[in-house]
C-alpha cells in the first residue's frame, strides 16, 4: 500500500510537470528527462502506477494522474514545502540550500512529524519560494498570479511568488535584494528584448531580462 521512495519521486515529477504544462497530460519522454531515468524504465513504472490506480495509462498516449495520484503527489509536495519552510524559518538555512535536504526528508513516513512542523510554522500557506503548500488532503490552491513579464510600464506590483526555482536564480534575486513581498514599480519595458527597468527600495534603476521577468509572479497593487 505504502509507496516506495522511487514511486513517490515519479508521482512528484508527474505532479510538477502537470502543473507546468497545463493540460494535465505528461509525456513519457518528459518524465524520463525530468527524472534522468531512461524511457523503458519509465514505461514500466507507469504500468505499475496504473495498477495502483495512481495514473491513467494507455500505450502510446500521454500519462495523467488519477484523483488518487494527485492527492498522494500533493501530500509529498506538501511535505517537501513544509520541510523547506522549516529549514529556512526554524533552522536558519538560506533559500538556496534547502531543496536537496527537503528532497530527502519529504519521504519520511511520520504524519506527526509533519504535523508538528506545520504547527511550529503557524500553518503556512506558501513556502519560502512563494509556491503554495498543498493542504492535508493534498489539494493545492493556486492563486492566479500574473507574471511580471505580462505587466506594462507604469504599473506598481508586489512580488508574490517565484517559478521554476533554481539555486542560481535564488542567488541572483538575493544579490539584488529582492524577496517576496517586495513592492516594485515598472519604469519601462524595452521593445526589442522585452527586458524591464524597475525600481524598488533603494534601487531606482534595475534592469531585468525577459527570462527573469517570466519567472517572477506578482500581484498588481490597486
Partner DNA sequence: ATAGAAAGTTAGAATAAACTAACAAATTTA
Partner DNA sequence: TAAATTTGTTAGTTTATTCTAACTTTCTAT
Residues that bind a copy of itself (CB under 8 A): 90-93, 97, 100-101, 104-105, 108-110, 112-113, 116-117, 120
- Contacted by 109, from DNA, a copy of itself, none: CB < 5 to 8 Å by type: a copy of itself
Q: Does 53 bind DNA (CB under 7 A)?
A: no
Other beta carbons within 10 Å of 33: 14
Q: In 25-66, where does DSSP find H-type helix?
A: 28-35, 39-51
Q: Is 82 helix (H, G, I), strand (E, B) or coil?
A: helix
Single residue of 22, 38, 168, 205 touching DNA by CB under 7 A: 38
Distance from CA of residue 183 to its chain's centroid?
A: 22
Q: Does 142 bind DNA (CB under 7 A)?
A: no
Single residue of 28, 73, 77, 216 touching DNA by CB under 7 A: 28
Q: Is 195 helix (H, G, I), strand (E, B) or coil?
A: coil
* Minimal distance, residue 16 CB to a copy of itself, in Å: 22
Name the β-bridge partners of 162: 216
CA–CA–CA angle 54, 55, 56 (5° rounding): 140
By the criterion CB under 7 A, which residues form the site for DNA? 4-7, 27-30, 32, 36-41, 43-46, 48, 57, 59-62
Amino acid at each position: 500500500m505504502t509507496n516506495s521512495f522511487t514511486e513517490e519521486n515519479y508521482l512528484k515529477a508527474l505532479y510538477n510537470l502537470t502543473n507546468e504544462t497545463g493540460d494535465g497530460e505528461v509525456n513519457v519522454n518528459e518524465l524520463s528527462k525530468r527524472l534522468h531515468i531512461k524511457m523503458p524504465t519509465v514505461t514500466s513504472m507507469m504500468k505499475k502506477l496504473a495498477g495502483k490506480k495512481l495514473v491513467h495509462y494507455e500505450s502510446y498516449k500521454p500519462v495523467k494522474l488519477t484523483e488518487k495520484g494527485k492527492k498522494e503527489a500533493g501530500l509529498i509536495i506538501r511535505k517537501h514545502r513544509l520541510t523547506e519552510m522549516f529549514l529556512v524559518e526554524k533552522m536558519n538555512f538560506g533559500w538556496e540550500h534547502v531543496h536537496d535536504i527537503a528532497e530527502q526528508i519529504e519521504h519520511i513516513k511520520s504524519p506527526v512529524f509533519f504535523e508538528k512542523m506545520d504547527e511550529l510554522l503557524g500553518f503556512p500557506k506558501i513556502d519560502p519560494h512563494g509556491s503554495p503548500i498543498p493542504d492535508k488532503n493534498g489539494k493545492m490552491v493556486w492563486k492566479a498570479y500574473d507574471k511580471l513579464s505580462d505587466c506594462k510600464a507604469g504599473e506598481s506590483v508586489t512580488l508574490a511568488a517565484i517559478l521554476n526555482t533554481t539555486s542560481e536564480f535564488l542567488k541572483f534575486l538575493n544579490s539584488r535584494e529582492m524577496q517576496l513581498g517586495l513592492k516594485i514599480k515598472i519604469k519601462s519595458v524595452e521593445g526589442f528584448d522585452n527586458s524591464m527597468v524597475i525600481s524598488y527600495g533603494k534601487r531606482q534603476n534595475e534592469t531585468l531580462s525577459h527570462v527573469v521577468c517570466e519567472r517572477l509572479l506578482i500581484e498588481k497593487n490597486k
